[in-house]
């Protein structure tokens, strides 16, 4: 019996970005088993497909009657969201309206269980979120009323998860607590078990340099160690805290599937240095699987045919099951 693959929703994200180039390169790279439903501007997609010499075969969909329409695997299914500016940087309000419209239709399909797989292109957080959310991870969490969620930067060899995300360093220690650590590590374990059929080995990086502190209150001793002991009693394969400056050495990281860090750059800097574009951003805890390529809009590279599509290819491959 042939397996039925649910469609992968792909949102273009920021209209003025490198997404169009990497998306076309990802389509050129291989055929995917899952049908792809693109939600975004057909005008922009057509413009860049001509620029990068890709023959688009389109199946237009109407969101109002999508469940009665054929979703094709051999063509790119598209829900067109009008946005016509191509050769100049768009007005921020117009751009935000476009992004919101893309999300609106995507959330409708996800809520109706039409699919459970979504990829969003990179978004300029300063323009779109306007300080209401720390990042797109938090935006998805609020839109789905998800209280317990986590950011996983995934690579099949080594992944990372920050306990705090896009938070200024001066606020990090206030958000390091047992509940936060325990909840996020449980999310990781459940995701690896249910989606990847793996019982993960997890390392925890200490907050302080060498896990030591000149302060009277050492978070590594008072918060991290009790959290790790609690999780071990629950049968979770977790170790630490380890000094972050040596944890990513080859012989150390090779013992684990995931390294959990206390703040964003503590673990995203080494994973990006090691894997470059061979990693994806997965939001854990949502009622669906949300993935995004692990890079930003990078408007300085638009149209140069130099952008690396590997992260988007990995995102598609990750959901193509």
Which residue segment(s) compose the domain that 306 sits in? 1-146+286-321
1 and 110, same domain (yes or no): yes
DSSP label of 18: T
Task: Catalogue the long-range contacts made by 53-60 (C-beta closer than 8 Å, 24 or more residues apart).
Answer: 54/24, 54/27, 54/28
Predicted confidence at residue 2, as pLDDT, reads 58
Average pLDDT over residues 176-185: 97
Distance (Å, whole) CA 168 – CA 187 = 24
Burial (CB < 10 A; 0-12, 13-18, 19+), residue 302, is: middle
Task: Tell me the H-state helices in 121-260.
Answer: 125-128, 136-143, 169-172, 178-195, 219, 225-233, 244-247, 250-253
232 and 117, same domain (yes or no): no
152 and 240, same domain (yes or no): yes
| Domain count of the fold of the chain | 2
**Phi, then psi, of 152 in degrees rounded to 5:** -115, 120
Element (H, E) at 165: none
Contact 10, 39 (CB under 8 A): yes
Query: DSSP letter string over 34-63?
Result: S-EEEEE-HHHHHHHHHHTT----EEE--G
Dihedral, CA atoms, 158, 162, 168, 169, nearest 10 degrees? Answer: -80
- Express each pLDDT in 121-141 by its tens digit: 988 877 776 567 788 999 999
Query: DSSP letter string over 256-319?
Result: -SEEEESSHHHHHHHHHHHHTTS-EEEEESSSSEEEEESS---GGGTTSS----HHHHHHHHHH
218's CB contacts (< 8 A; 6+ apart) are 208, 211, 212
Would you place residue 85 in the very low, low, confident or very high pLDDT band (cuts 50, 70, 90)? low
6 and 142, same domain (yes or no): yes
- Express each pLDDT in 301-320 by its tens digit: 888 888 899 999 999 999 99
Would you place residue 285 in the very low, low, confident or very high pLDDT band (cuts 50, 70, 90)? very high
131 and 59, same domain (yes or no): yes
At 175, list the tokens: 């958000």
Higher local confidence (pLDDT), 213 or 185: 185
Greatest CA span in the chain, whole angstroms? 65
279 and 290, same domain (yes or no): no
115 and 4, same domain (yes or no): yes
Distance (Å, whole) CA 37 – CA 202 = 35
At 282, list the tokens: 């997965």
133 and 40, same domain (yes or no): yes
Instruction: Write down the pTM of the prediction.
Output: 0.92
CA nearest to 249, candidates 310, 205, 283: 205
Distance (Å, whole) CA 190 – CA 260 = 15
Cα 287 to chain centroid, rounded: 15
51 and 71, same domain (yes or no): yes
279 and 299, same domain (yes or no): no
- Express each pLDDT in 12-58 by its tens digit: 988 888 999 999 999 998 889 999 999 999 999 999 999 998 998 99
Contact 119, 292 (CB under 8 A): yes
252 and 118, same domain (yes or no): no
108 and 236, same domain (yes or no): no
Say what angle helices 19-29 and 42-51 make with each other, to 10 degrees.
70
Residue 179: which CATH number? 3.40.718.10
CA nearest to 125, candidates 88, 99, 160, 161: 99
């Amino acid at each position: 019996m042939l397996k039925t693959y649910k469609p992968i929703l792909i949102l273009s994200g920021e209209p003025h970005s490198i997404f169009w180039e990497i998306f076309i390169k990802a389509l050129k790279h291989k055929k995917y088993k899952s049908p792809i439903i693109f939600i975004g501007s057909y005008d922009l997609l057509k413009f860049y497909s001509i620029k990068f010499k890709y023959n688009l075969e389109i199946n237009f969909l109407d969101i109002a009657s999508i469940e009665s329409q054929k979703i094709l695997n051999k063509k790119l299914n598209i829900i067109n969201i009008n946005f016509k500016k191509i050769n100049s940087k768009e007005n921020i309000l117009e751009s935000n309206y476009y992004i919101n419209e893309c999300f609106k239709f995507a959330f409708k399909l996800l809520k109706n269980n039409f699919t459970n797989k979504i990829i969003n292109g990179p978004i300029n957080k300063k323009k779109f979120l306007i300080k209401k959310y720390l990042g797109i991870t938090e935006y998805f969490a609020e839109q789905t009323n998800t209280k317990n969620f986590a950011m996983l930067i995934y690579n099949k060899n080594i992944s990372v998860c920050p306990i705090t995300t896009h938070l200024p360093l001066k606020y990090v220690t206030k958000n390091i607590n047992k509940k936060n650590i325990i909840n996020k590590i449980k999310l990781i374990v459940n995701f690896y078990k249910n989606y990847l059929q793996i019982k993960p080995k997890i390392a925890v990086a200490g907050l302080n340099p060498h896990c030591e502190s000149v302060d009277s209150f050492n978070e590594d001793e008072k918060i991290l160690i009790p959290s790790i002991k609690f999780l071990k009693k629950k049968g979770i394969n977790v170790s630490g805290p380890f000094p972050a400056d040596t944890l990513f050495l080859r012989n150390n990281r090779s013992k684990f599937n995931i390294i959990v860090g206390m703040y964003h750059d503590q673990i995203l800097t080494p994973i990006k240095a090691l894997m470059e574009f061979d990693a994806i951003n997965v939001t854990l805890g949502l009622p669906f699987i949300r993935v995004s390529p692990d890079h930003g809009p990078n408007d300085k590279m638009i149209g140069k045919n130099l952008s690396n599509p590997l992260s988007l290819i990995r995102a598609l491959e990750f959901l193509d099951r």
